[in-house]
């Protein structure tokens, strides 16, 4: 149960001054609260003896009042101190987690689902906050109140009476240990179930259009209900254990009351203690009930924190397999790529996704990559961008092995436009200058004009100030793609990789955009993976990938003459285009 304090030791060390202050205040409060029963006992004795006077009553009232005021001040002090520490811990852990997210590689994001990551960043961090605030408070308070009260009972009332009446207390230790184990087990289940439910919400919300298109709302809802049922069931088990605690404690303290009445009355009759002593003793017993009950809550907080810390720790200990080299190379002309992949297998996969991919690309060249879905086009970009390391073989930029190049530097100079485009929830202008926030409005427009999206943007009600992203204006696939192109081009990369980046833009516009950027002489080397052969007709070299291997290589003419897959695809696509154009002509003739 206390393992979590060890785990959070670094934070307590860091904030030892404020924790000492708060704990000091808590202990002082416990001592003061132990004086109160004593004073009440004394007043009762004075009354029983008929010795009570106005001045003595005034004195006792005044002392009680002062104690009350001092305790108020102390309580305010430790509360503010402890709770500011707990929010600090939460924000430190949240920043650490986010920093970790930004450093993680593709493999990490394949392993952890979005909803799971969100659960770590919300629920688990809240559990840690409770440990650093309420947990410390309950722990210190329970220990100090218990110790001070027991000591007062032993020393100030009667040691024999105390000894006989606390006989049932060791039972508490057994109860706490036993229930603690169960608690840990059920908390683990509960947090995992919450993660899974979170993931479900995230996926359903993101995929709502698809769900609706397939009329799967009912099924999706039923799946979700079963996820929430799991969470309810896991929390029910936590509650079952939790609820068992209080009745056990109440029974044990009830036993001590019975023993007190028995031994207390006996000792009064013996003249060993006074009636006032017994009243004070009962008051002390009352003081003990709270820490004992609080121990149950403490156990709850600690076990939840323990499980949450382990979950976060496992995530934080996940090191990215792809690491930027220490003092990596950060100055290259980027005018030559040498791809020498003998084999690449995805982590956890049984067969290679790429084999024997060997080619070179020089300054000014455009390389075309075609092939069926799943033939390895995206994988090739993954390796060229070092999202993964090549299993066997090498990739070199200007003769330098890719793993010797500073990773940030590589990504700053190599532009990549993926198949799916994510725009952020900010204005279109800020989306375009995402990689270079210093760009002026005019410079942004230059890139949107080259990407043939400027006119479209002007038609939006707020022009460049229109919000994009999830909350923003709904953009067509082609518009999103063209904004993404402008965003990448604005970074002025030396090398450009396009992974089916213009699938939603018609062939003519695609050629115009590529031509625009060529004229600007911005890009040294371009590698285009595409389904549309017309996009790469003018490429210097074309590779056809099939099952992760190069099946055909050459320029357009050579490949057409070879009469294989490439030639077939080309003829088929030409035919399709003619039919579409014919259809258009027919439509306009009507």
Residues at the site binding ligand ADP, with contacts judged by CB under 6 A: 110, 346, 349, 353, 371, 373-379
Kindly provide the residue ranges of all beta strands, DSSP E only, lying in 271-332, ordered along the sequence: none
**Residue (368 or 371) nearer to ligand ADP, CB:** 371
Alpha helices (H) along 433-473: 441-450, 454-459
- How far apart are CB 372 and ligand ADP at their closest, in Å? 7
What is the torsion angle, in degrees rounded to the nearest 10, for the CA atoms of residue 558, residue 559, residue 563 and residue 568?
-150
CB contact at 8 A, 457 and 463: yes
- How far apart are CB 371 and ligand ADP at their closest, in Å? 6
**Residue (161 or 529) nearer to ligand ADP, CB:** 529
What is the torsion angle, in degrees rounded to the nearest 10, for the CA atoms of residue 115, residue 117, residue 122 and residue 125?
150
- Coil, helix or strand at residue 48: helix
CB contact at 8 A, 297 and 138: yes
- How far apart are CB 114 and ligand ADP at their closest, in Å? 16
Distances (CA, A) of 498 to 377, 493, 550, 577: 10, 12, 19, 23
**Residue (256 or 379) nearer to ligand ADP, CB:** 379
Q: With both helix axes pointing from N to C terminus, report the angle between 136-152 and 54-103 in degrees, rounded to the nearest 10.
A: 150
- How far apart are CB 376 and ligand ADP at their closest, in Å? 4
**Residue (378 or 451) nearer to ligand ADP, CB:** 378
- How far apart are CB 105 and ligand ADP at their closest, in Å? 11
**Residue (518 or 549) nearer to ligand ADP, CB:** 549
**Residue (350 or 521) nearer to ligand ADP, CB:** 350
- How far apart are CB 532 and ligand ADP at their closest, in Å? 14
**Residue (161 or 380) nearer to ligand ADP, CB:** 380
**Residue (148 or 545) nearer to ligand ADP, CB:** 545
Element (H, E) at 217: helix 217-270
**Residue (184 or 379) nearer to ligand ADP, CB:** 379
Tokens of 234: 């896991």
- How far apart are CB 104 and ligand ADP at their closest, in Å? 14
- How far apart are CB 379 and ligand ADP at their closest, in Å? 3
| Distance (Å, whole) CA 394 – CA 403 | 9
- How far apart are CB 566 and ligand ADP at their closest, in Å? 15
By the 10 Å C-beta count (0-12 exposed, 13-18 middle, 19+ buried), 440 is classed as: exposed
> Would you tell me how many other CB atoms lie within 10 Å of the CB of residue 80?
12
- How far apart are CB 116 and ligand ADP at their closest, in Å? 17
Residues 6+ apart with CB under 8 A from 105: 320, 321, 322, 387, 388
Distances (CA, A) of 116 to 110, 193, 200, 226, 475: 12, 10, 9, 17, 29
| Distance (Å, whole) CA 317 – CA 330 | 28
What is the torsion angle, in degrees rounded to the nearest 10, for the CA atoms of residue 548, residue 550, residue 552 and residue 557?
100
**Residue (5 or 566) nearer to ligand ADP, CB:** 566
- How far apart are CB 544 and ligand ADP at their closest, in Å? 11
Give bridge partners of residue 354 from the DSSP assignment: 344
Tokens of 423: 């725009």
**Residue (353 or 542) nearer to ligand ADP, CB:** 353
What is the torsion angle, in degrees rounded to the nearest 10, for the CA atoms of residue 132, residue 134, residue 139 and residue 142?
160
Give bridge partners of residue 414 from the DSSP assignment: 495
- How far apart are CB 353 and ligand ADP at their closest, in Å? 4
CB contact at 8 A, 490 and 439: yes
**Residue (377 or 411) nearer to ligand ADP, CB:** 377
What is the torsion angle, in degrees rounded to the nearest 10, for the CA atoms of residue 464, residue 470, residue 476 and residue 480?
60
Kindly provide the residue ranges of all beta strands, DSSP E only, lying in 287-408, ordered along the sequence: 336-344, 354-362, 366-371, 392-397, 400-401
């Amino acid at each position: 149960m206390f393992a979590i304090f060890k785990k959070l030791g670094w934070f307590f060390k860091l904030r030892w001054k404020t924790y000492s202050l708060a704990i000091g205040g808590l202990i002082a409060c416990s001592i003061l609260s132990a004086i109160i029963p004593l004073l009440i006992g004394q007043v009762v004795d004075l009354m029983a003896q008929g010795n009570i006077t106005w001045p003595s009553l005034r004195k006792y009232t005044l002392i009680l009042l002062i104690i009350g005021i001092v305790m108020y001040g102390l309580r305010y002090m430790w509360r503010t101190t402890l709770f500011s520490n707990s929010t600090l811990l939460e924000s430190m852990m949240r920043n650490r987690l986010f920093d970790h997210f930004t450093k993680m590689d593709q493999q990490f994001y394949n392993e952890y689902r979005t909803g799971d990551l969100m659960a770590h960043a919300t629920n688990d961090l809240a559990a840690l906050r409770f440990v650093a605030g309420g947990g410390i408070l309950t722990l210190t308070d329970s220990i100090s109140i218990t110790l001070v009260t027991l000591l007062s009972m032993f020393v100030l009332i009667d040691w024999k009476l105390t000894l006989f009446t606390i006989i049932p207390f060791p039972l508490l230790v057994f109860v706490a240990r036993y229930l603690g184990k169960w608690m840990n087990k059920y908390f683990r289940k509960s947090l995992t179930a919450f993660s899974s439910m979170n993931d479900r919400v995230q996926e359903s919300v993101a995929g709502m259009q698809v769900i609706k298109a397939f009329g799967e709302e009912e099924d999706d809802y039923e799946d979700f209900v079963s996820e929430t049922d799991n969470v309810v069931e896991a929390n029910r088990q936590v509650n079952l254990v939790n609820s068992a605690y209080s009745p056990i404690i109440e029974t044990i303290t009830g036993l001590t009351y019975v023993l007190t009445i028995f031994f207390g009355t006996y000792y009064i009759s013996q003249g060993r203690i006074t009636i006032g002593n017994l009243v004070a003793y009962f008051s002390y017993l009352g003081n003990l009930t709270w820490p004992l009950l609080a121990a149950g809550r403490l156990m709850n907080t600690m076990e939840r924190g323990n499980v949450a810390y382990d979950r976060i720790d496992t995530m934080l200990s996940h090191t990215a397999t792809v690491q930027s080299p220490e003092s990596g190379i950060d100055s290259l002309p980027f005018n030559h790529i040498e791809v020498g992949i003998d084999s690449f297998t995805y982590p956890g996969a049984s067969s290679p996704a790429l084999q024997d991919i060997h080619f070179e690309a020089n300054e000014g060249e455009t390389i075309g990559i075609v092939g069926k879905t799943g033939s390895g086009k995206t994988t090739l970009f993954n390796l060229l961008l070092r999202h993964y390391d090549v299993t066997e073989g090498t990739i070199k930029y200007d003769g330098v092995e890719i793993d010797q190049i500073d990773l940030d530097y590589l990504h700053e100079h190599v532009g990549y436009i993926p198949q799916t485009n994510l725009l952020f929830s900010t204005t279109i202008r800020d989306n375009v200058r995402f990689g270079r926030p210093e760009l002026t409005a005019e410079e942004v427009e230059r890139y949107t004009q080259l990407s043939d999206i400027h006119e479209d943007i002007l038609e939006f009600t707020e022009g460049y100030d229109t919000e994009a992203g999830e909350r923003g204006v709904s953009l067509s696939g082609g518009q999103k793609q063209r904004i993404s192109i402008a965003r990448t081009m604005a970074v002025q990369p030396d090398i450009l990789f396009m992974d089916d980046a213009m699938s939603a833009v018609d062939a003519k516009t695609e050629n115009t955009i590529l031509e625009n950027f060529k004229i600007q002489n911005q890009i040294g080397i371009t590698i285009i993976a595409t389904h549309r052969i017309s996009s790469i007709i003018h490429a210097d070299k074309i590779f056809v990938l099939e099952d992760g291997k190069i099946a055909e290589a050459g320029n357009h003419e050579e490949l057409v003459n070879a009469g294989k897959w490439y030639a077939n695809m080309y003829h088929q696509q030409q035919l399709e285009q003619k039919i579409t154009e014919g259809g258009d002509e027919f439509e306009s003739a009507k």
